[in-house]
Amino acid sequence: MAQVILKNLTKVFDNFTAVKNFSARVEDGKFITLLGPSGCGKTTTLRMIAGFIEPNVGEIIIGKEIVYRSKEFYVPPENRNIGMVFQSYAVWPHMNLLDNVSYPLKIRKISKKERYAKAAQVLEMVELEGMGQRYPHQLSGGEQQRVALARALIVDPYVMLLDEPLSNLDAKLREQMRFEIKELQKKTKVTIIYVTHDQAEAMAMSDEIIVMNKGEIQQIGKPEEIYENPANKFVANFIGLTNFIPCKVSEDRKYLIVKDGKGSKIEYVVSEKHKEEVILCVRLEDITLKPYDEEEMNGQVIRATYLGNLVDYLLQVGEITMRVQVKDRRFSTGDKVSLIVDKKKILLY
């Protein structure tokens, strides 16, 4: 177990900058997720930590050891004592589970008796006890992913790096495996750096999230901080479901005037740091609906989608559309309604 320190990592492929000035500290025993859309640089960052890709500049420290420093010093992957879990499981079909899991120890010239004993221990840890003689084709997708986790754990790594390990599983199994991986991390206390584009995964599993876009860090914080106080419009849009509403600030700065063609007003004291034109950001669940009241901001239901625990409404509010999610099923397509925005949850950009 060890902390990981990344300083100004940059990676350029030809004329494309995949990662730019990436700096972060991952504390010992923490679960950190790199989150962002495809092509944002998260897997490249993970592979630089692993040693599979050499940065152009920067520094990587694992524990107390520098493993990379701007072309002056480079420790190869096999000497970094990391465990890697890939998206594709990468279990060998011709080997049983004992041989699959113990293979890293075989490379290290550990005796067969000793490596099989250790493999049996980690298989028990991932709830595959007594299955050492089985082959991958006899396992479910979730069980194969546990084999990959066991193989990464068998070397007692300082750090485990997981690259979208659940993306090949069905939704229900993926949710189950989230909690299993988190519980496994609590047992082993190993530092984990996890890559995903799935915000629900990141929110459920992480101690901290690093949100990336176009190779750069957009925000670092705990899941609740990222969700409730996004640093910019990109983070607000990528994490959770959000309405972005163009508004003008009233001359006395006590109202937001919605650019919906009707001049709907929201009472809100706007600070001096904001200009006359702003974007109001509000989560779907932070708007409530009530029967039509001409004194309030109002609209018409275009679509009402029942989702079990809530109803997702699409509303036409003048010239703009908005989405609202509430538990109330009393409104139907065509109904006129009024929208009440929770002022405490408003963010302005």
How far is CA 134 from each of CA 87, 92, 101, rounded to the nearest angstrom?
A: 22, 12, 12
> Is the distance from CB of 208 to CB of 150 less than 8 angstroms?
no
> Is the distance from CB of 270 to CB of 348 less than 8 angstroms?
yes
Predicted pLDDT of residue 145: 87
**Average pLDDT of span 18-44:** 97
**Average pLDDT of span 48-71:** 95
Question: pTM for this structure?
Answer: 0.89
36: DSSP letter: -
Predicted pLDDT of residue 170: 84
Residue 310 pLDDT > 90: yes
pLDDT tens for 217-252 read 999 999 999 999 999 999 999 999 999 999 999 999
Q: What three-state secondary structure class fits 264? A: coil
Biggest alpha carbon–alpha carbon distance for the chain: 80
Tell me the residue type at 299. Answer: G
pLDDT tens for 200-211 read 999 999 999 999
Sketch out the chain's domains with CATH numbers.
Answer: 4-236 (3.40.50.300), 241-348 (2.40.50.140)
Residue 141 pLDDT > 90: no
Q: How far apart are CA 171 and CA 137, in angstroms?
A: 21
Predicted pLDDT of residue 97: 94
- Computed from CA positions of residues 239, 244, 249, 254, in that sequence, does the dihedral angle turn out positive or negative? negative
Q: How far apart are CA 82 and CA 51, in angstroms?
A: 10
269: DSSP letter: P
Residue 1 pLDDT > 80: no
Do the bridges between strand 347-348 and strand 336-341 make them parallel or antiparallel, or are there none, so unpaired?
Answer: unpaired
Confidence of residue 6 (pLDDT cuts 50, 70, 90): very high
Residues 6+ apart with CB under 8 A from 245: 258, 259, 279, 280, 281, 282, 320, 322
Do the bridges between strand 347-348 and strand 65-69 make them parallel or antiparallel, or are there none, so unpaired?
Answer: unpaired
pLDDT tens for 82-132 read 999 988 777 888 999 999 999 999 988 999 999 999 999 999 988 899 999
